[in-house]
Chains A and B, each alone.
Chain A
């Protein structure tokens, strides 16, 4: 399944499927991007980051893709598991300006067993 980020705040997938969560950012000067996972009752947890001199970065079961031309960021989760159910936030930072990350609207990922 695929989320269109701001326009679809909930993404439901079956266990084992791949998930894609999208995020559109607004500041063309942003040069550092972070994905966070927030489980109910907990603080945002760092998943993966990417700098603007890269267009792809892989972690364990996660891949972040960055398209600076259209100011779009995506998080791909392979073989989604029930434990991946959470709200996912993207955040952007302009490290040459204010270094405070700006959070995008979260996407709720629901994984059905």
Chain B
């Protein structure tokens, strides 16, 4: 079965640079979520989209933005990168936003800031 695809898998940037992470949800999933996971931490919710509209916002810094496109893929744009942004970034998708449907996660992008 098709899973959530994230790219790139690994990304190395320097402080103050920008980065763009991409997420391709499972076909027919209309909701996308972004999470940040630091070492040994649980995933922290950043932002979500339902039918291409932002649906909920968590602890996403103002330096980050995201959007969901007409084909339902999503991109997380990160600017003025800081050392503390080094983390695993996961995207998840689900069918529907308000129902009791499990999220399916991609394998993440590991972002390292030098």
- What residues of chain A have their CB less than 8 Å away from a CB belonging to chain B? 31-32, 34, 36, 41-46, 49, 51, 89, 93, 95, 98-106
- Interface range, B side: 20 to 34
Q: How far is the CA of A89 from the CA of B33 in the complex (A)?
A: 17
B97 within 8 A of A: yes
Q: How far is the CA of A54 from the CA of B98 in the complex (A)?
A: 20
> With a CB–CB cut-off of 8 A, which chain B residues contact A105?
42
How would you classify the secondary structure of chain B's contact residues: helix, strand, loop or mixed? Answer: loop
> With a CB–CB cut-off of 8 A, which chain A residues contact B92?
43-44
B84 within 8 A of A: no
Q: How far is the CA of A68 from the CA of B88 in the complex (A)?
A: 33
> With a CB–CB cut-off of 8 A, which chain B residues contact A106?
42
* Nearest chain B residue, comparing its CB with the CB of A34: B102
> With a CB–CB cut-off of 8 A, which chain A residues contact B4?
43
- What residues of chain B have their CB less than 8 Å away from a CB belonging to chain A? 4, 33, 42-45, 48, 56, 58, 90, 92, 97-100, 102-108
Judge whether A100 and B90 touch: CB under 8 Å: no
> From residue A51, how far is it (CB to closest CB) to chain B in Å?
6
Judge whether B100 and A95 touch: CB under 8 Å: yes
Given the contacts A43-B108, A89-B42, A99 and B98 also touching, CB distance less than 8 Å: yes
Judge whether B105 and A44 touch: CB under 8 Å: yes
Judge whether B100 and A44 touch: CB under 8 Å: no
Q: How far is the CA of A32 from the CA of B106 in the complex (A)?
A: 21
Judge whether B99 and A95 touch: CB under 8 Å: yes
Given the contacts A44-B105, A103-B42, A95 and B98 also touching, CB distance less than 8 Å: yes
> With a CB–CB cut-off of 8 A, which chain A residues contact B58?
100
> With a CB–CB cut-off of 8 A, which chain A residues contact B44?
103
Q: Can you spell out 11 A-B residue pairs with CB atoms less than 8 angstroms apart?
A: A43-B90, A43-B92, A43-B108, A44-B92, A46-B102, A49-B100, A93-B100, A98-B56, A99-B97, A100-B45, A103-B43
